[in-house]
Amino acid sequence: MKIALDAMGGDHAPKAMVEGALLALEAFDDIEILLVGQEDKVKQHLPQAHERLSIVNADEVIETDEEPVRAVRKKKDSSLVKAAKMVKDQEALACISAGNTGAYMTAGLLVTGRLKGIERPALATYFPTVHGHHCLVLDVGANVEAKASHLHQYAKMGKIYAENVMGLTNPSVALLNVGTEEAKGNELTKQTFSLLKDDNELQFIGNVEARDVPFAVADVVVCDGFSGNVLLKTAEGAGSAIFTMLKKELTASLPNKLATLVLKPSLKRIKKTMDYTEYGGAPLLGLNGGCIKAHGSSNEIAIKNAVGQARKFIKEDVLESIRSEVQKESDE
């Protein structure tokens, strides 16, 4: 299976992309990787040729601060756009980018296209919980404004992804809100609550507050992109702040330093659970192709895991599952 990787997107490109691709090829023997980017720069970080790795030259690069729509339309030979087009043209079964999120979303819409029947794609991400497994939250930034019908589709796509990729049976679905009562929230959440409640194919458990998401109260949490992005960034900031404070306290005195030696394995396990590099990336669900968005500061481990996520997306045929669900709904 061929996977296109935007070699020029992200804070550590192209070095991290090339090294991550090589790690992925070592881990998965059933994939081929197409590194899309400026060939001369990519080759600088490629120690030797690999039979399952190819370089697809793309002269242009979309920078992180560029306006998405304008950049995608103007820079058709950029690595990001070219990777998305390879999925559209079926030269690759999935693509990955750690570049400009808005541009990647735009390329997904304008180049790869939406699945028929899907109104808005959603960016879905794993959220760590205290129980060690993950909760899927969507949307976390693809659409800052949404309708109730969009959130209903997010719930359906999230359920399919949780079943096929996360391996969950009949996953529970919740709606992110300011309170757990049915009447809480604004018009969007009230309308969405009714749609989710009336959908017999969803195991809808009601509203959930942001503070409860890390406690695994639901397998899938649905929200608009604005709320989801705030939830995600707040969690990232809080996690970083807690570890900064812990480091300061645990090195403040000799007794603390001695205690740290005992606690070090446990602290490492906690840090690994909260580390975004372990999850690889966030799929853009609802597009007519597998598009995985990796974190902008992804290192080679994160890229390797993003490739693994794209591989599982392809193997479990998530795209066809979502397409079938939408088609079934339109036939009813």
Same domain, 106 and 205: no
Specify if 322 maps to a domain.
Answer: no
273 and 293 in a single domain? The answer is no
Mean pLDDT of 194-223: 94
Same domain assignment for residues 46 and 88: yes
Closest CA to 309 of 50, 109, 93, 114: 93
Strands (E), 9-90: 32-37, 53-57
What was the pLDDT predicted at 261?
82
- Is residue 36 assigned to a domain? yes
Contact (CB, 8 A) for 303 and 273: no
Q: Above 90 in pLDDT, residue 18?
A: yes
Same domain, 105 and 55: yes
- Flag whether 171 is in a domain: yes
Residues 62 and 145 in one domain: no
Same domain? 294 vs 267: no
Choose the weakest-confidence range: 125-129, 187-191, 209-213, 223-227.
125-129
Same domain membership, residue 140 and residue 1? no
As given in the structure block, the two tokens for residue 311 are: 């591989």
Handedness of CA 166, 171, 172, 173 (dihedral sign): positive
CA distances from 264 to 238, 240, 241, 271 (A): 20, 17, 18, 10
Query: In this structure, what token pair is assigned to residue 102?
Result: 């808005």
Provide the β-strand partners of residue 2.
32
- Which pLDDT band, with edges at 50, 70 and 90, does 331 fall under? low
Domain extent for 103: 1-116+286-317
Residue 329 lies in a domain: no
| Same-domain check for residues 139 and 196 | yes
Same domain, yes or no: 264 and 123:
yes
**Average pLDDT over every residue of 147-173:** 92
Question: How high is the pLDDT of residue 262?
Answer: 80
CATH code at position 290: 3.40.718.10
Could you give the 3-state DSSP secondary structure of residue 175?
A: strand
331 within a domain of the structure (yes/no): no
d(CA 153, CA 322): 10
Token reading at 98: 């750690």
Q: How confident is the model at residue 156 (pLDDT cuts 50, 70, 90)?
A: very high
On whether both 201 and 266 belong to a single domain, the answer is yes
CB atoms under 10 Å from CB of 262, counted, come to 8
Confidence of residue 68 (pLDDT cuts 50, 70, 90): very high
Percentage of the chain lying above the pLDDT 70 cut: 95
pLDDT at 332: 57
Contact 218, 135 (CB under 8 A): yes
Q: For residue 327, is it within any domain?
A: no
Q: For residue 317, what pLDDT is reported?
A: 87
Rounded Cα gap, residues 125 and 143, in angstroms: 14
Name the domain count of the chain.
Answer: 2
What pLDDT is attached to residue 301?
Answer: 93
- Do 15 and 37 lie in one domain? The reply is yes
Q: Tell me the pLDDT tens digit for each residue of 216-253.
A: 899 999 999 999 999 988 888 888 888 788 888 888 88
Q: Which of 19-23, 246-250, 291-295 has the highest mean pLDDT?
A: 19-23
How many residues are listed for the chain in this entry? 332
CA 266/CA 260 separation, integer angstroms? 10
Task: Please indicate, yes or no, if residue 233 is contained in any of the structural domains.
Answer: yes
The pLDDT of 17-22, averaged and rounded, is: 96
